[in-house]
Chains A and B, each alone.
Chain A
C-alpha cells in the first residue's frame, strides 16, 4: 500500500526527515510517536505534498504509483487522506458543498459521474451518524466557528465520506477532551477494514488506547529509531522520550 524508502526532506534548507523507511500494508494501522520537533507532522506534510517541503532523496510508492510525482490533489484522488492537525476555516463555503465538490472531483478522476443528489444526501446522513457528527454543522461554513472537537470530528467525517485507501491522522487527538477523543477514535475504528490502512501520528499514548495499532514506530530527529507493537507505546508513556536520545547515540 505505502512503501517509503530512505526518505529525506527539507524545509527552508533545513533537513527535517533524514532517511525514513516504512512499509504499510493493506488493512494495517501504524502509529508514529515521537517528541515535539522529531519530524512527525513533517512526514505527514511530505506525504500529502505540502508545497514548502522539498524531498531531497528517497522514494515513496503508493499503491503502485510514484507518490512524489503526483500533485497534492492527485494524491488525494489516488486515495490518500490527511486529517489535519489544524483544519482551516473557509468562510462562505458550506460544509456540504465542500464535501460534494471534493467527492465528485475524486469520482471524476476515477472516471465516475457526479453522485446524484439523493444518493449523496443518503451517504452524508449515514456517515454523519457513523462519526456522530452534528447535522446542524453541515450547512455551516466549513469549520468556521467550529469548536476544536467539531473540527476534528469534521475531519473524520470527511475521511468517512471520501473513503480513502490510506488515512493519515496528524495529531488528531491534540486539543480534544476525553469524550471527543472517544468519539473520534470510535469513528476511525468503525472505518477500519481489510482494504483501508491508517497512519496515526500522535504525541501521546492515550489515543492508542482507543485506536489500537498493529505497529508503533518512534520517530526521533528525522529518523525512525524504534519499531514495535502496541506495547512500545506503553513503554514510551512510562519512560518518556529522553531515553531515545541515548538510544540514538548507539544506533
Chain B
C-alpha cells in the first residue's frame, strides 16, 4: 500500500498538461536587444512616431538599470541578448474575421479550452487570444461595440484609438518604473486594451488568453484597462506555454485606471510552464501590475491564482488616490517541485476613507518556496484609512518553505491597519479521516487545498472558478455548496 506521502509527492509532481507545441510558420526577430530591434518591432506593428519614441525612452531607462537584489530567491542569470523579442505567426493577409484565422491557431486555442468560435465560446465571455507576440483573434467585439465598450488588441488600439492610448500608456506604470517594466516598454509586443465608457456596466466577462509557443523568445505584453466614471468591468487573463528545457521570460505590464465610482475586477489564472521536477526549464514570470483608483469611490480588485512558472515574481498593486476608494488583493500561489513564488501586493492609501483588503494564501509542496511580500502605505492625507491583511501559508510535506515579509508604513494617526498570519500543514490525521470516508488521498488533498483557498477562489468569475479548481488538482464533480 502506498503511504500518503508518496501520493502527495505524485500530486506535487504531476505532469504539465499544456506542454505541447504548435507547428506553424513564424516571423521571428533575431535574438538580441538594441535600438534596431525596437525600431523593427515598431515598424512591424506600423506604429506612430510617438510610440517609437516612448519605446526608445524605455530602452534608455532599461540600459541604466540593474537587476534587483532584495527578492527572496537567487536571481537566475539573465542574458537579455539571447532572447528574441518578436515572434508572430506568419499571416497571409489582413484578418477581417475569425474565419480567416489560421486553423492551426484556432485548433491550438481550442485544445487549450479556449474556443475562439463565438458559437462554441462560453456565453458571456469575450476573449482576446494572444499567441506569442500578437493577438490572433478577439471574440464578441461587435456585440461589445454596440455598448461603446472597446475591447481589442493593443496594436489595434494604437491604430484605432491613439488618443486614449497616448493619454494613459505609462500613466500608472511609467517606462522607467523597474527594469522589467522598462524592458517591456521598449519591446512590448501586443496585449489587450479595454475602455469602458461612462455609466456602462460591461455585459460580459472580458478575457485574454496568453500562449507562448516559439522557442527562445520572451513574451512582453501590455494590458491597459480604463473604466470611466460609473462603469464596471470584470477582466480575466489565463496563460500557458509549451514544455521546454530552457527558461523563457515573461515580463508583462498591466495598467488599470478607475475613474469616479468605477470598478475594475481583474482576475488571473496563471499556468505558465513551471519547469520539470528538477527545476529545469519553465517561465520566469516577472510582471508589473498596478492600478490606480483615480476617482472617488472607485474600486480595483485583483484576484490571482498562480500555479505555473518556474519563478513568479509580482506585486499587483493599487494606488488609492480618490477619496473613499477601495483596493483588494486576493491571491492563491502554489509552488511545487522547485518552483518559486515571491508575490504579494502594494497598496498606497492616499485619499480619505480609503479601504483595502488583502487575502493571501500560499501553498507550498515538494521543494517549492513561497514568499508573501506586501506593503501597506498610508499617506498623510489618508484620514480614516483602513486596511485588513490576512496572510496564510499551507505546507504540504516537509521540504518546502513559506516566508512572509509584510511592510506597513503609516503617516496618518487615524489609520487602522491590521495584519493576521497563519502557517499550517496538511495533517496526516485530516487525510486519514477523509480516507476513512472512502475518499482517496489525492482527492483528500485536493479537497483540503480547495477548502483552504476557497475565500480567494470565490472571488473568481463563475466561468473560471472551475478552471482554477482543476488547476489546484481539485475534483469537485457534482458537489454542492
A interface, CB within 8 angstroms of B: 48-51, 71-73, 75-77, 81-82, 84, 87-88, 90-94, 96-98, 100-102, 104-106, 109, 114, 117, 120-121, 138-139, 141-142, 158, 162
Contacts and interface: CB of A to CB of B under 8 A. Distances in A.
A138 B480 CA distance: 11
A93 B439 contact: no
A149 to B, nearest CB: 18
B4 A162 contact: no
A96 B480 contact: yes
Contacts of A139: 481
Nearest to A84: B433
B40 interface: no
Interface in B423-481: 427-430, 432-441, 443, 447-448, 450-455, 476-481
B438 A90 contact: no
18 contacts: A49-B436, A73-B438, A76-B437, A84-B433, A84-B436, A88-B429, A88-B430, A88-B433, A92-B453, A96-B481, A98-B434, A100-B478, A101-B439, A102-B434, A105-B438, A105-B443, A141-B451, A162-B437
Given A101-B443, A101-B447, A141-B451, A73 B481 contact: no
Nearest to A102: B437
A173 to B, nearest CB: 19
A75 B478 CA distance: 23
B429 A101 contact: no
A71 B448 contact: no
Nearest to A94: B481
B436 A76 contact: yes
Contacts of A158: 437
Contacts of B435: 49, 71-73, 76
In this complex, which of A76, A93, A98 has the most chain B Cβ atoms within 10 angstroms of its Cβ?
A93
In this complex, which of A87, A100, A109 has the most chain B Cβ atoms within 10 angstroms of its Cβ?
A100
Contacts, number: 99
Interface residues of B, number: 32
B66 interface: no
Nearest to A51: B3
Q: Which 4 A-B pairs have the closest CB atoms?
A: A92-B451, A93-B451, A72-B435, A102-B437
A114 B477 contact: yes
B396 to A, nearest CB: 14
Contacts of B477: 104, 114
A51 B432 contact: yes
A114 B476 CA distance: 12
A71 to B, nearest CB: 5
Interface string B129-148: 00000000000000000000
Given A72-B432, A90-B434, 18 more contacts: A49-B435, A51-B4, A71-B435, A71-B440, A76-B437, A90-B433, A91-B452, A92-B454, A94-B481, A96-B481, A97-B476, A97-B481, A98-B437, A100-B480, A101-B439, A104-B478, A120-B480, A162-B438
